[in-house]
Structure 1
Amino acid sequence: LVLKGELQLDSLKQKGAVKRTLFFDYHQSYHYFSIVIERQKQHHCQNFLVYLRDETEFRDKLSPININFNYSLDESNFEDSLTVKPILNYYQKNSVTEQAYILVDCGEDNLCIPDLQLSVVPDKDQLIIGEENCVMLIINPRNDGEGAYEAELHIKIPPEADYTGVERNNKALRVLSCDYKMENETRMVVCDLGNPMVADANFSTGIRFSVQHFENADFSINFELQIKSSNKINASSNLVNLHINISAVAKVQIRGVSHPPTIILPLHNWEPRDEPTKEEELGPLVEHIYELHNIGPSAINNTVLRVGWPVSSREEFLLYILHIQTHGPLHCQTSSPINTMQIKVGQPLLFPPLRVRKGERYRNINKDFRHREQETKVYDFPLFCTQNCTNVKCILISCTVGQLERGKSAALKIRSRLWAQTFLERKNDLYTLSSNVSFEVKSMPYKVQPAKLPKGSIAIRTSVIWSTPNVSFVIPLWVIILAILLGLLVLAMLTLALWKCGFFDRARPPQDDMADREQL
């Protein structure tokens, strides 16, 4: 009688999983063989040698190793002369299963009961939107009980964060082997803590994340951490929910310049017109440029920019607006129409300090602003009459500013002409024309809003002064020669007069020898 036998090692492991035991002769976890049973013989024995893989080749050390044996009749070896063919006993199973356990260091009962504990501390307690936020979680796993097998640290990553790696530059922190995984659309980082994580294990490790996606972030981001093992009792540690606060911070600055900062009257080769039609006939060009710059780090949006422009006083024009030009996400409207006299406007120039390479715009307007400040300090007049929106009629220019990221700017240029006739009628009076600009940030493009939003104001001044023109005298050459000749003539006449008067006669000394001889 011949039976077909099939012997499977570690049969509970699924297909593709690592089989922990193999046949020594075949290096496989299964073996097919034939069993020949002789008549009158009730027992048949056959030995196989198997071995356990090295512990570095598998992780599961706790679950039993199932050994499954199946047998069936080999009908191909039946004799044709048999009238009654043999059959198996249908009241008995045609398979046998035995179990073997891997001996682990878990005491006499071979049952490990760990006591897993977990604590986490971030290296920063607040994240600022717009900065390069790199956060490191300093994690302290420990085991106060018996060995924890297949111990792993599971970290659930919030939507705002991305896993960047394990901290390797700090000798006080252990370097773990970690992998990024997706489990049911949940992003995870899984780190190996040991197999087993031995009793009394206590160490710290650092896991790094970058946090950038703040569009839909609430007031904090949340990391979930837990230690898991394959032990039957106390398989997991405490669940840690780590919250890191999020804040939005933006420093916004308003700067401005006046081109030119000072106007000197009277104007050279300029005469007033009773009914001017061209902008050159009004007076000198005056431009004020304002720049709203977001220093950051967070972005801003829905910002209101307001400019008060001194347009007239006592029904006389001061600064006559011709054109308003914007740069960046800026939309403006005025409280009353501009250029009501339909003055023909020349081609407006582009922003002179703003047409520069990226990253230089703000620096150039600051440099220009400081340069203009130094120029105005040359004229130190204490008796200026200041004309601003507190004592003259102003046009209000209201602008809405769109979103400005860190390092971005929006600019406004007001092109106007000084109405020279108004000032020529008040000769020698000194004036300062001041435009007031203010801004207020209404919101930031995040769910998180700061307790106090940025706002500020400045005044840009243009001075009007009077100066007497310098007269330069050109002396002809013949006049110079004649003056020299006249000077020489006067010198000669003076010398002759002194000679006639005996001024140049020489006084002779007394003859001492003759006087002494006469006395003898």
Structure 2
Amino acid sequence: MIIILFLLCIKSVLLFNFNMDNVKEISVNSAYGSDTYFGYSVLLQDGTQPLIIIGAPKLSSRTGGGVFACKLNGICTNYDLVTSNGHTFTGNFLGMSMDGTGETGGPFIVCAPKKVKAEGENNLLPGHCFYKQNSSYVSPAASTVNPLYDKPTISVHNKVGYYDYGFGEAGLDVRFIDRTTVLLGAPGVKNWNGAIVVDSLSNTRTPKIIPERKAFFPEENDTYFGYTVGTATITVMGEQVAVIVGGSPRGGSLNGAVKMYDFDGNLVREFFGEEPGSYFGSSVLAVDMNNDQIDDLLVGAPMGSGSTYDEGYVYVYLSITRSYQAKLTGSRKTGARFGTLISTLGDIDLDGYQDIAISAPFEDDGIGAVYIYRGGSKGIEIVYSQRLSPSSFQGNSGNVRGFGLGISKGKDIDGNGHNDLVVGAFKSGQVFVIKTRSIIDFQLSLDTNVSSIGNGPIAIKYCIYYTQKGKVKDVRLVNFKVKLNMDYRVNGENNFEHTWVVPLERGACENLTVTIQPSMIDIQPFRITLSADVTQTEAIALGQNKIEKLIPFSHGCGDDNVCQTDISLEASSDKKLLVLGLDNTLNLDIFADNHGEPGYQCLLYLNIPVELDYRNKDKCKKNESLICPFASSLPSTANMHLKFDITHLTTDKDSILVQFEIKCLGRNLTPNKQAFVWNVVTKNSPYIEGKSEPNNLYYGNEDTSDQEITHTFTVGNFGPSPAKLVVTFLLPIVDKEANLFKVLSVKGLLNGHSISCSQKYRNNERGHRPENFLVEYVNKSVILDCSDNDSACVEISCDGGYLYRSSETATFDIKINADLKSLGSRYKSEQFKDSIIYVSSAFLNNSTTRIENYASTLIFSASKNSVPLWIYIVGALIGCLLLLLVIFLLYKVGRPNCNF
């Protein structure tokens, strides 16, 4: 037995908005070195001499770890847990997991899940635990708990061997039920399918394996069920049932899983993670956080990526329903692994609800942090109440590493009625004892001698009273900084500030008398505000630190001072019709006529659609309605001018409705809610332009091949209102017997975005050709369009939404293949026609008119105007003969004689 005496370092730290104060540090590094993992597991026991049991799984190679009993006075004693059974000890990890009762001298169990069992030439890891019936005695040696020690190590399935219980690692996690029963997590059972062992601490019954796997399930290999264990009470078929909870962080296709079994081994419920590799189920806790007598389940997923990696989450299943209701995230810090451990603190702030602690041991580059979450009537508060970090402790905390991997349950170790907490920092071998500060509840009161303001003085009395929570009433006096602020209309000083020393459960008060300046009296209520703050840190103060009292003025509206108004409303505007796209503002004048008692503090309640924006909305309050000041007093009549900017007005709106009413102090005898409507109209001027590329073609030659034509249509709108962009195109295919033209593609674009188009074949039904259409060609040309009932056409319909601005245009490129060879064969009998005009039409319907245009391609016959070859030959021969004749005549004549 080794006793270590060291200097206990007390660090005072002020923790915001919660009630943990003094921090004490415990370490055994001076005697054993820094790499002991001291603080990997902790158990806090209260009593007359509180005890902290601390695991150090890498303490030494001789024992393969260690367990210490530490007192608050700075003395730590190493438990005698060494057994001489010839097994190796290096890497046993004694102290990796621990659980027990919360009273000093009570039993506890601590495990060495990697303790080696030699079997022939094999070293196995069935798991090993020690059970101490009294934590106050470090000797004699504890009894052993190793339920898998004599189980089959290797089994054969389909002639293939697999590990049965040889690498079960029972005790990787442990849950102490009572002095007779313990739960051991054994994630290595059945090729790391995993199991939970229900074992007897009194050796009165055979260990039970849950689930009892009678078959081999290779699909569940390496799922690690039993990585963490716990218990819960759930409702099944209307009855409360105690269940065993086990985590399987690699189950559920690596998303992680949590399974619940009853103590007979029947699967009752299971939950699955939502992110692969998050290690969902590596920590679990069942606790009733909303006092509905049904446990709530918290499941950690410490390797959930978050927005970076390994930020970690904790899922909250209220009443253990199938889906989670909240997802806690701590501070969302990279690599924090928030949710590595979840521990119950009990009702640490004495508000009647259970509170919890969640660790993030790798936060802040490995320093670590612990988050405190409070329970409430609606379950857990999703925003943490406090973040515990060594950086907030006084003194040098830069060497702390792994803070939060070991967290105790909450226990009251100083007897003040508030649970305290122990947190281990395993990487630096430190344990911190964090005590709680006392909590006081305080109330403020503010009273006056009048219920309404007249011309007389006002007597004011303001008080502070507080009580202390917890068993010990040690906060006998509390310093409060008190501020009293009064309305600006008070005669004289209107702000007072004091420091009061208030005794416990007796309170303190002060009286004050003020008068109102006669010239300053108006209809606004007289406002008095009282606030108070605690100026000392010995206790946490809970309460409403600010109250306010409003005293109405006497309005001369009867004995009850309640004015009964009778207000009627009318409204007018400079416009009755709103042109979409042209009008940008609206004006509305509201007229109020009061036939009853005077109205005061009159407010205008406006219900306006999203298409309107009230210009003076910064003077209004937004609730279900826009609440704007109308008149401070309304004895008879008043009016108000409103100006709206038109925003987000869509084309499907045919009217705009504004509803309004006026409410004053008191009661209006008749409802005055009214409405004003503007009708919305559209005025637009769309147009269509068409062109062909190329403009003309030739057919009739034997070597003539297919030719591609592009008809391009441009659709625009001169405004001012948007125009619906639904365009129909008609393109002839010539006739029902031969498809001489074929539509290859249709491409529509508006502001760089494609326009959806569809096409179908149809017989022409229009029977209409544009007026003055190519008049000079009509008598000499064959016109191919969709006005001929014998022609077959392709109808293309395109919907591009709306053209909103005059600068917007939509273009449609229609590519057409012309079979020129077949075209020549089809029209060779047309003796008096020298060309074919191929016409495609486009039209859209405006609200009142039909807009239409076309694109055309001229196709000339190459054979109609050609000269036969024999004419060229004969002409050439005649020309040659004439040339020879001229030469012969000149020769016969000879050269003339010329005498000069």
Query: Given the two structures, how large is their TM-score scaled by the length of structure 1?
Result: 0.50
Residue 120 of structure 1: CA displacement? 0.9
2:833 to 414, 424, 429: 429
Residue 384 of structure 1: CA displacement? 3.3
Per-residue Cα deviation, 1:336-376 (whole angstroms, up to 9, x for no partner): 9xxxxxxxxxxxxxxxxxxxxxxxxxxxxxxxxxxxx99x7
Report if the CA contact (8 A) 1:10-1:29 is conserved.
no
Alpha-carbon spacing, 1:16–1:332, altered in 2? closer, same or farther (3 Å): farther
1:60 to 524, 536, 546: 524
1:229 and 2:667 equivalent? no
Alpha-carbon spacing, 1:384–1:11, altered in 2? closer, same or farther (3 Å): farther
Alpha-carbon spacing, 1:112–1:384, altered in 2? closer, same or farther (3 Å): same
2-side partners of 1:282 and 1:10: how far apart? 108
1:414 and 2:815 equivalent? yes
2:746 to 325, 329, 340: 325
Per-residue Cα deviation, 1:374-406 (whole angstroms, up to 9, x for no partner): 9x78x6675433233316543414334242342
- Partner letter of residue 643 of structure 2? I
Within-5 A mapping of 1:184-203:
186-193=624-631, 195-197=632-634, 199-203=635-639
- Partner letter of residue 494 of structure 2? H
2-side partners of 1:309 and 1:440: how far apart? 18
Q: Secondary structure at the match of 1:196?
A: strand
1:272 and 2:712 equivalent? no
Report if the CA contact (8 A) 2:781-2:837 is conserved.
no
1-side partners of 2:731 and 2:461: how far apart? 83
1:401 and 2:799 equivalent? yes
- Partner letter of residue 702 of structure 2? P
Alpha-carbon spacing, 1:158–1:139, altered in 2? closer, same or farther (3 Å): same
Report if the CA contact (8 A) 1:432-1:463 is conserved.
yes
Report if the CA contact (8 A) 1:286-1:418 is conserved.
no
1:27 to 470, 479, 494: 494
Partner residue, 1:220: 655
Report if the CA contact (8 A) 1:304-1:401 is conserved.
yes
- Partner letter of residue 330 of structure 1? S
- Partner letter of residue 575 of structure 2? K
Runs of 5+ in structure 1 lacking a partner?
1-5, 34-45, 67-98, 167-177, 274-280, 337-372, 442-449, 471-485, 487-491, 497-520
1-side partners of 2:640 and 2:576: how far apart? 19
Residue 137 of structure 1: CA displacement? 1.2
Which fold has the larger relative contact order, with Cα–Cα distance below 8 Å and residues 6 or more apart in sequence?
1
Partner residue, 1:241: 675
2-side partners of 1:47 and 1:427: how far apart? 118
1:335 and 2:761 equivalent? yes
Alpha-carbon spacing, 1:434–1:405, altered in 2? closer, same or farther (3 Å): same
Report if the CA contact (8 A) 2:609-2:657 is conserved.
yes
Partner residue, 1:461: 856
Q: What is the identity percentage for the equivalent residue pairs of Structure 1 and Structure 2?
A: 15
2-side partners of 1:298 and 1:208: how far apart? 21
Residue 126 of structure 1: CA displacement? 3.4
1-side partners of 2:709 and 2:570: how far apart? 66
Within-5 A mapping of 1:83-98:
none
Partner residue, 2:574: 123
Report if the CA contact (8 A) 2:761-2:792 is conserved.
no
Report if the CA contact (8 A) 2:732-2:741 is conserved.
no
Residue 304 of structure 1: CA displacement? 6.1
Residue 271 of structure 1: CA displacement? 4.1
2-side partners of 1:16 and 1:272: how far apart? 107
Please state which structure has a larger fraction of its residues in strand: 2
Query: Given the two structures, how large is their TM-score scaled by the length of structure 2?
Result: 0.31
Partner residue, 1:51: 516
Please state which structure has a larger fraction of its residues in helix: 1
2-side partners of 1:31 and 1:462: how far apart? 96
2-side partners of 1:12 and 1:239: how far apart? 42
- Partner letter of residue 756 of structure 2? L
1:138 and 2:589 equivalent? yes
Alpha-carbon spacing, 1:393–1:384, altered in 2? closer, same or farther (3 Å): same
Per-residue Cα deviation, 1:159-216 (whole angstroms, up to 9, x for no partner): 43222249xxxxxxxxxxx723222xx14040332x323x454445233242425488
1:180 and 2:620 equivalent? yes
2-side partners of 1:210 and 1:27: how far apart? 46
Alpha-carbon spacing, 1:196–1:388, altered in 2? closer, same or farther (3 Å): closer
2-side partners of 1:382 and 1:122: how far apart? 61
Residue 53 of structure 1: CA displacement? 7.8
Alpha-carbon spacing, 1:424–1:192, altered in 2? closer, same or farther (3 Å): same
Alpha-carbon spacing, 1:258–1:469, altered in 2? closer, same or farther (3 Å): same
- Partner letter of residue 490 of structure 2? L
1-side partners of 2:622 and 2:830: how far apart? 80
Residue 151 of structure 1: CA displacement? 2.4
Partner residue, 2:641: 205
1:282 and 2:724 equivalent? no
- Partner letter of residue 196 of structure 1? S
- Partner letter of residue 153 of structure 1? L
Per-residue Cα deviation, 1:398-421 (whole angstroms, up to 9, x for no partner): 334242342352513123336163
Per-residue Cα deviation, 1:46-90 (whole angstroms, up to 9, x for no partner): 99663338648x6426x8x99xxxxxxxxxxxxxxxxxxxxxxxx
Partner residue, 1:385: 782
Partner residue, 2:600: 149
2-side partners of 1:241 and 1:322: how far apart? 55
Report if the CA contact (8 A) 1:114-1:233 is conserved.
yes
Per-residue Cα deviation, 1:308-340 (whole angstroms, up to 9, x for no partner): 32435875x7x533732312313334539xxxx
Report if the CA contact (8 A) 1:320-1:419 is conserved.
no
2-side partners of 1:323 and 1:47: how far apart? 93
Alpha-carbon spacing, 1:180–1:100, altered in 2? closer, same or farther (3 Å): closer
- Partner letter of residue 611 of structure 2? E
1-side partners of 2:602 and 2:485: how far apart? 19
Report if the CA contact (8 A) 1:106-1:146 is conserved.
yes
